[in-house]
Amino acid sequence: MKNQSCIISGKNLEVKANGVTRIGYEDYFKTVVKQPGMDPQAQALAKLEQEWTEKLVAARKEEAEKAYKQGFNDGQKLSKANAEQHLENFKKTMKDADSRIQGLIHEVKPGITDLIFDLAEKVMEIPVESDMLRMKVAQELDGLLQQLDITSRIRLQVSTEDYEHIFSMIQETHHSDKLSIQMLDDLNPGEYQLDTDQEKVVKDFREILKDYRQQLLSNDWGKEQ
């Protein structure tokens, strides 16, 4: 009886028919590649290369940051300069526009004034009830009173609405004792009739508007103060 024995088990183990066992040559003589230690000079070179690489990366990063900051600052200065230039142009444009507007006001003022008073006369047909008109009436009366001879007798008729205001003002004049005031229902606010020994003055709404129009046209409204 032939004996079969197995000393090493593995895929390379072959059993021959005659009982001879063969193991592959590679199992006995495997080539072991041994990593030799790095040469000290090579290590120094590798370290130096790594340091230079890190310095290069840091330098590039620093330069990039400087360029960004410089560009940002330059951009801010440029934006500020542009904004100031736009502001100056805007001021100049507004000044030119104001000059043109002032010129236009003086050109159209007479026509607008005529239109306003024409509308008041033809459409409203009654005076505006305002303190300005009433004060103007009172001022005219005061002027007339100062011009009249002290011996003259004055008879004043005013509207019901103006009576109290005119009466209180006349009481403060030096000639109040020479003046009699009456209310007249036919008169509108701002209208009056003044009778003296020398003349009779009738100031209806149209006459008042005419005087007021002339006063406006003679004033320099619309001019830059």
pLDDT above 90 covers a percentage of the chain that reads 0
Q: What is the pLDDT of residue 30?
A: 47
Q: pLDDT per residue over 64-79, tens digit each?
A: 787 777 777 777 777 7
Average pLDDT over residues 78-87: 71
Question: Are 138 and 168 contacting, i.e. CB atoms less than 8 angstroms apart?
Answer: no
Query: In a 3-state reduction of DSSP, which class is residue 147?
Result: helix
Per-residue pLDDT at 32 exceeds 80: no
Q: Where are the domains of the chain?
A: 40-125, 129-218
Residue 168 DSSP class: H
- Using CA atoms, how far residue 64 sits from 34, 52, 59, 60, 76, in Å, is 46, 18, 9, 6, 18
Give the relative orientation of helices 131-147 and 160-170 as an angle to the nearest 10 degrees: 50
* 21-22 and 14-15 strand pairing: antiparallel
pLDDT above 70 covers a percentage of the chain that reads 38
Instruction: Centre a 10 Å sphere on the Cβ of residue 161 and count the other Cβ atoms it contains.
Output: 14
CA distance 83 to 73: 15
Q: Which helix (H) or strand (E) holds 15?
A: strand 14-15
Q: pLDDT per residue over 110-139, tens digit each?
A: 655 565 555 555 555 555 455 665 566 666
What's the whole-model pTM score?
Answer: 0.30
